[in-house]
Amino acid sequence: MKGYLSLMFGSLIIAVMLMMPGNSAQAEEPVTTPSQESEDGHCGCDVEFLTGAQRNKIAAELNSSDAFKVVKNSLEKQGYEWNGSGATEIIINHSMGDVIFVGAMFTAEDGLVYAAGYLYNGGQFINLGIAPY
């Protein structure tokens, strides 16, 4: 009898859950609407992550630059491991006159990820230091 009651109530709970409309974990509607593209082709936002061929070109330039090689060798001697060019993040800040920031990711021995920051200026990279990511 006890088993039948458990089966009956369990079935009732499942049936009620399946018959309920909607989903209790629905995401809210966005408060703001996404910005439109401007005349110059930008997304209309202040910061934009580069992707595709443009990103790959700058990442390849970074990997072959002397500024990166010096920092990479120094960090590897300290026990950091470079995460590869696939983990490199490149950001354009439109509010600062299309300044390009590049972050090369390194993992410390304790597992924390650090970004070695660079300012990209027409083929030259200026080292901005390293900080936790």
Domain contains 2 = no
Number of structural domains the chain divides into: 1
pLDDT tens for 54-101 read 999 999 999 999 999 999 999 999 999 999 999 999 999 888 888 999
Name the pTM for this structure. 0.65
Q: How far apart are CA 62 and CA 70, in angstroms?
A: 12
Distance CA 3, CA 5 (A): 5
Contact 82, 72 (CB under 8 A): yes
Q: Is residue 114 part of a domain?
A: yes
Q: Provide the domain limits for residue 78.
A: 47-132
| pLDDT (average), residues 104-113 | 95
Q: Please check whether residue 75 lies inside any domain of the structure.
A: yes
Please give the backbone phi and psi of residue 47, each rounded to the nearest 5 degrees, phi first.
-120, 135
Q: SS3 for 83? A: coil
- Residues β-bridged to residue 107: 81, 113
